[in-house]
Amino acid sequence: MHEMSLVQYAMDAVEQRAMGMGIRHVRGVYLVIGEMRGALPELMEYGFRVLSRSRPLFFGAVLHMELRSVEAQCADCGRRYGVREFHGVACPDCGSRVYTLVQGNELYIESFEGE
Ligand SMILES: [Zn+2]
């Protein structure tokens, strides 16, 4: 399951930082994840629950997720617009097909709480 490895990645990152800070129990993890990562929130939560059972640092911890939609910025006029389908992406203002993706590929820990 794809989500399982994303969750694993997030937990590893938190664990490393928590240990450096002397935190022994994490209560909540705040994860920012872009739609392009193709992760289902329910499966992320499920994976987090399952994995936290074997990792004492995370006993009873809650995973909070902020989903970021995919957004492009037009290279010609600078307009930012949402992208739902990658086939035939064009700027709604000027019709340009040249763009850069500015949002939607995120995967990082915004913060975490613990003691
Ligand atoms: Zn444009």
- Centre of ligand 1 to C-alpha 81, Å, is 9
Question: Which residues on adjacent β-strands are paired with residue 108?
Answer: 32
- Centre of ligand 1 to C-alpha 83, Å, is 13
pLDDT at residue 86 greater than cutoff 90: no
Find the helix packing angle between 2-21 and 41-52, rounded to 10°: 50
Please indicate, yes or no, if residue 28 is contained in any of the structural domains: yes
Please indicate, yes or no, if residue 75 is contained in any of the structural domains: no
How many domains are contained in the chain? 1
Of 111, 107, 102, nearest to 37 by C-alpha is 107
Distance from C-alpha of 13 to C-alpha of 32, rounded to nearest angstrom: 13
pLDDT at residue 1 greater than cutoff 70: no
What are the residue ranges of helices labelled H in 1-115? 2-21, 41-52
Average pLDDT over residues 38-63: 95
Contact 6, 39 (CB under 8 A): yes
* Choice between 81 and 85, residue whose per-residue pLDDT is larger: 81
Average pLDDT over residues 6-25: 95
- Centre of ligand 1 to C-alpha 53, Å, is 49
Please indicate, yes or no, if residue 30 is contained in any of the structural domains: yes
pLDDT at residue 85 greater than cutoff 90: no
Per-chain mean pLDDT for the chain: 95
Please indicate, yes or no, if residue 40 is contained in any of the structural domains: yes
- Centre of ligand 1 to C-alpha 80, Å, is 8
Average pLDDT over residues 35-64: 95
In percent, the amount of the chain with pLDDT more than 90 equals: 94
Please indicate, yes or no, if residue 63 is contained in any of the structural domains: yes
Please indicate, yes or no, if residue 21 is contained in any of the structural domains: yes
Distance from C-alpha of 79 to C-alpha of 101, rounded to nearest angstrom: 12
Range of the domain at 12: 2-69+104-114
